[in-house]
Amino acid sequence: MKQSVKLVAGNWKMNGLGASLGEAEALAQALTAQPANCRVALCPPATLIERMGRTLADSAVELGGQDCHAEKSGAFTGSVSAQMLVDVGASLVILGHSERRAGFGETDADVAAKVEAALAAGLEPIICIGETLAEREAGQAVEVVSRQVAGSLPASLAGKAFAVAYEPVWAIGTGLTPTLEQIEEVHVAVRAAMVTRLGQGGETAPILYGGSVKPSNAAEILAVREVGGALVGGASLKADDFLGIIRAA
Ligand code: PEP
């Protein structure tokens, strides 16, 4: 399969106050001094996007949100629309993260609707999929992610910029990672499911791996067939750790 340039994206989750912007600044400075071989993005909480955008101005680091509502506007207290993310300077958005699927009951259909909204606003979605530990132990990992690809990727993605992130739920924030063989098996299956779903439009979008990526394991994971980058949680909060992953790409 043709591979596009790797993408390493940091997901700050519900972490970070104004004082944390020094980490983004340190990252931007390091990458200006020595540019990365990959695309780099930071996805801070919505409250920090605009300020982080000012911090990252003139750097190559891209900016993303962590979720958006499927509707453009309206009576959805507490929610943020895709257009609002664009308005504060985001160009990407993480959608369907397992913490939203598990904690907020998001279904594949909900995720697909959010992807449509993101595309309509001009955002590049990073669509998360991944099996639970019970599903992995039952030998259903490939079946689960293939179903999630079919249900979470709307047909309108064909021809658009997007990424899929394979994040085994049991590997997120736990320090556990699948073996490199397991990562390859799932990524190859995800690629096949993307092509089944989108035809040629599913051939090149990067498939990121996410789940306890750190400087010490990034190089071997990023070298696995069909791994097109990484989605990084905890290790993206500190510039030095995140740089260690970026430099491995
Ligand atoms: C994530 O939340 O997307 C993630 C991969 O987290 P961590 O890197 O901390 O496991």
Is residue 4 pLDDT above 90, yes or no? Answer: no
The proportion of the chain whose per-residue pLDDT surpasses 90, expressed as a percent, equals: 98
Nearest protein Cα to ligand 1, atom 2: 233
Per residue in 183-230, pLDDT (tens digit) is 999 999 999 999 999 999 999 999 999 999 999 999 999 999 999 999
Buried b (16+ CB within 10 A) or exposed e, 169-187: bbbbeeeebbebeebbbbb
Per residue in 20-36, pLDDT (tens digit) is 999 999 999 999 999 99
DSSP line for 128-184: EE---HHHHHTT-HHHHHHHHHHHHS-GGGTTS--EEEE--GGGTTTS----HHHHH
Confidence tier at 130 by pLDDT (50, 70, 90): very high
CA gap 150, 43 in Å, rounded: 25
State in Å, rounded, how far the first CA of the chain is from the last one.
Answer: 18
From 97, 106, 131, 226, the catalytic residue: 97
Is residue 1 pLDDT above 50, yes or no? Answer: no
Name the one residue in this structure whose structure tokens are 């995800």: 190
Nearest protein Cα to ligand 1, atom 1: 233
| Ligand 1 neighbour 172 (Cβ under 6 A) | yes
Average model confidence (pLDDT) for the chain?
97
Helix-, strand-, coil-residue percentages of the chain, each rounded to 5: 50, 15, 35
**Closest approach atom of ligand 1 to CA 165:** 3
Which of these, 40, 44, 39, lies nearest to 22 by C-alpha position?
A: 44
Return the structure tokens found at 119: 């595309």
Contact indicator for 228, 163 with CB cutoff of 8 Å:
yes
Give the distance (Å) from ligand 1 centre to CA of residue 233: 3
Confidence tier at 3 by pLDDT (50, 70, 90): low
CA gap 164, 153 in Å, rounded: 9
Which of these, 51, 28, 52, 48, lies nearest to 40 by C-alpha position?
A: 28
| Ligand 1 neighbour 48 (Cβ under 6 A) | no
Mean pLDDT across the stretch 133-146?
A: 98
| Ligand 1 neighbour 129 (Cβ under 6 A) | no
Q: Is there a catalytic annotation at residue 97?
A: yes
Per residue in 53-62, pLDDT (tens digit) is 999 999 999 9
Mean pLDDT across the stretch 155-167?
A: 97
Per residue in 36-90, pLDDT (tens digit) is 999 999 999 999 999 999 999 999 999 999 999 999 999 999 999 999 999 999 9
| Ligand 1 neighbour 212 (Cβ under 6 A) | yes
Give the distance (Å) from ligand 1 centre to CA of residue 84: 25
pLDDT of residue 208: 98
Q: Is there a catalytic annotation at residue 69?
A: no
